[in-house]
């Protein structure tokens, strides 16, 4: 067990965490990144990435994250293969965090970039066909299903928004919902029902996702919640849209959160209610949830962290004179 001292501790290692690290390291803050359970974040389980600026050809998610990590290390970031299990934010800076193995981290500032995970149905074939027809992000993967038949599973705002977005690529979008009415906002429902490209299957749950001979998604097996009757629906793509779960368990009771568990920040900034503690990426963003927006927020967190540290340094001599 060791103690690690840093001007900036970054918890999480997706696009937000790595971007924060790059900016912090270039500002000579000697940041430490604690990578967590999934080094590289959600992009490590994403195959084709076509919407990250700077790459004319499709790149692979894991490769992109390895490049971000290498860049962060190149400019002076220290990577720790650890999981933070405890944080002490009371009393202000410096803050204290403890890793899974007992290592202690003392930091003048903290950037929380722990991300969020898509909620899954848990149905057979769902994980096996991930990247082969099953996805949890229409904005990320909808482009690959141009002119193909797709389905969206869910009944809230996210599901309806995903279904409407997919009409940009497909003329055959089916929303599958387990109840007989949607939970989405009325304005979204109106748009859905007015679209000639969408249809709704009511009172249906997904029993399984089935592959075709080519190993990709071929159809879904459904079950009627009223009668128990089974049926199938052909689909080239299936988008699970039942919400996301931010990784904020560690901060419950310590930082303000919204009803979905996302960390509250001052609008337009990564600043939490505690000076010196910042949140970036999907852990605080339930609207956009894109790699590029997460990276931008990581940059903002590092810049605000740098300003916070500069302000502390400016105050120290004044306090010393006052004490004399």
Q: Hey, which residues are catalytic here? A: 137, 140-141
Euclidean distance between CA atoms 304 and 144, whole angstroms:
37
Residues in contact with 133: Cβ distance below 8 Å, sequence separation at least 6, in sequence order: 209, 211, 216, 217, 218, 235, 236, 237, 238
Neighbours of 23 (CB within 10 A): 23
Phi and psi dihedrals of 95, rounded to 5? -100, 160
Decide: 255 and 276 in contact? Cβ < 8 Å.
Answer: no
Q: Distance between the two ends of the chain, CA-based, in angstroms?
A: 39
Backbone angles phi, psi at 40, to 5 degrees: 95, -15
Question: How many whole angstroms separate alpha carbon 48 and alpha carbon 59?
Answer: 6
**SS3 call for 67:** helix
Cα distance between residue 155 and residue 134, in whole Å: 17
Task: Find tokens 């928004």 and name the residue.
Answer: 161
Helix (H) / strand (E) element for 234: namely strand 230-234
Q: How far apart are CA 223 and CA 240, in angstroms?
A: 16
Q: For residues 199 and 197, what is the distance between their CA atoms, to the nearest angstrom?
A: 7
């Amino acid at each position: 067990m060791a103690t690690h001292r840093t001007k900036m501790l970054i918890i999480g290692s997706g696009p937000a965490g790595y971007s924060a690290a790059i900016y912090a390291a270039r500002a000579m803050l000697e940041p430490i990144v604690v990578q967590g359970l999934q080094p590289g974040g959600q992009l490590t389980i994403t195959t084709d990435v076509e919407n990250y600026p700077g790459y004319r050809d499709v790149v692979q998610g894991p490769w992109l994250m390895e490049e971000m990590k290498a860049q962060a290390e190149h400019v002076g970031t220290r990577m720790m293969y650890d999981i933070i299990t405890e944080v002490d934010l009371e009393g202000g800076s410096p803050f204290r965090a403890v890793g899974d193995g007992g290592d202690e981290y003392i930091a003048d500032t903290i950037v929380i970039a722990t991300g969020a995970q898509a909620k899954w149905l848990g149905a057979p074939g769902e994980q096996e066909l991930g990247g082969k027809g099953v996805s949890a992000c229409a904005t990320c993967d909808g482009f690959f299903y141009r002119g193909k038949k797709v389905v969206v599973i869910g009944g809230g705002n996210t599901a309806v928004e995903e279904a409407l977005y997919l009409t940009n690529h497909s003329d055959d979008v089916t929303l599958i919902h387990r109840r007989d009415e949607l939970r989405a906002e009325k304005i979204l429902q109106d748009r859905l029902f007015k679209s000639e490209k969408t249809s709704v299957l009511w009172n249906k749950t997904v029993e399984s996702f089935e592959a075709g001979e080519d190993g990709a998604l071929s159809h879904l097996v459904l079950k009627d919640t009223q009668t128990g009757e089974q049926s199938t629906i052909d689909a080239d793509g299936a988008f699970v849209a039942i919400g996301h779960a931010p990784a904020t368990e560690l901060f419950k009771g310590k930082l303000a959160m919204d009803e979905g568990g996302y960390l509250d920040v001052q609008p337009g900034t990564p600043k939490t209610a505690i000076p010196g503690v910042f949140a970036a990426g999907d852990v605080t963003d339930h609207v956009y949830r894109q790699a590029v927006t997460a990276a931008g927020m990581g940059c903002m967190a590092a810049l605000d962290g740098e300003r916070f540290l500069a302000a502390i340094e400016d105050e120290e001599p004044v306090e010393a004179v006052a004490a004399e």
